[in-house]
Amino acid sequence: MNKLFGKKPAPQKPIIVVSGLPRSGTSMMMKMMAEGGLSVVTDELRSADEDNPNGYYELEAVKQMSAGNVAWLSDAGGKVVKVISALLEHLPSEFSYKIIFMEREIKEILASQQKMLKHRSESSQVDDAEIEAQFKKHLSVIKPWLVRQPNMEVMYVSYNDMIRDAAPFSKKITEFLGAPLDVSRMARIPSRDLYRNRKVNG
């Protein structure tokens, strides 16, 4: 039968990936997933700070996927992991993924990144207008690439819309994932206060 059907990814549960540009709301979505009841794949090496007071929910090994560190994905079926959009291409093709791709107004992303760079005592060699153009180009390339990946399904979520009313998004995300998540707990995470503070203070 296997010969008849050819190659087919192993019937592991899809790995749930939260993705997007840095500062597009990926950490907030990770917290929503955790509150909803999903297991999070994180090493907690990057701890909460003024840029992400609720934590980053990151995994150092994600940065090492391009160097072949992908064994950890074998145990990630049905769990959620954060992978920024620039690293999605390094996800191994033998697994299937359900990707929640966060989108946010680009000016807000850039402003938030500048504040984060400042907090990290880093400086940018390239001005934001140029980086904005590059991020837009990156998104215009990654989206059609995602459509062509047979092992990846994507749901795009607007951070700005979700901050206004998270309940309908929480329900849609649950339907997309096909998992019995706690929608009401998820919907409590997006914080207008946090959003306002970020807009005013960083």
Partner 1 sequence: MKSIAKKIGVIFANRDLRDFGAISFRDIPFLAIGKHLDQSHIKPPSKATGDGQKDLEDRLKGLGYL
Binding site for partner 1 (CB under 8 A): 4-8, 11, 14, 22-23, 46, 63, 84, 86-89, 113, 116-117, 120, 122-126, 130-131, 133-135, 137-138, 141-142, 145, 148-151, 153, 178
Nearer to partner 1, 22 or 161 (CB): 22
Q: Least distance (Å) from partner 1 to the CB of residue 68?
A: 15
CB atoms < 10 A from the CB of 186, how many?
Answer: 25
Distances (CA, A) of 25 to 4, 5, 33, 42, 125: 44, 40, 12, 17, 24
Report how far residue 71's alpha carbon sits from residue 69's, in angstroms, rounded to the nearest whole number: 6
Judged by beta carbon, residue 22 or residue 195, the one nearer partner 1 is: 22
Contact 143, 99 (CB under 8 A): no
Cα–Cα distance, 178 to 198 (Å, whole number): 32
The residue type at 3? K
- Which residues fall within 8 angstroms of residue 74, CB to CB, at 6 or more apart? none
Q: Which is nearer to partner 1, 48 or 188 (CB)?
A: 48
Q: How far is the CB of 33 from partner 1 (least distance, A)?
A: 18
Taking the complex as a whole, the smallest distance from the CB of residue 164 to partner 1 amounts, in Å, to 26
Q: Least distance (Å) from partner 1 to the CB of residue 7?
A: 7
- Comparing CB distances to partner 1, the nearer of 11 and 68 is 11
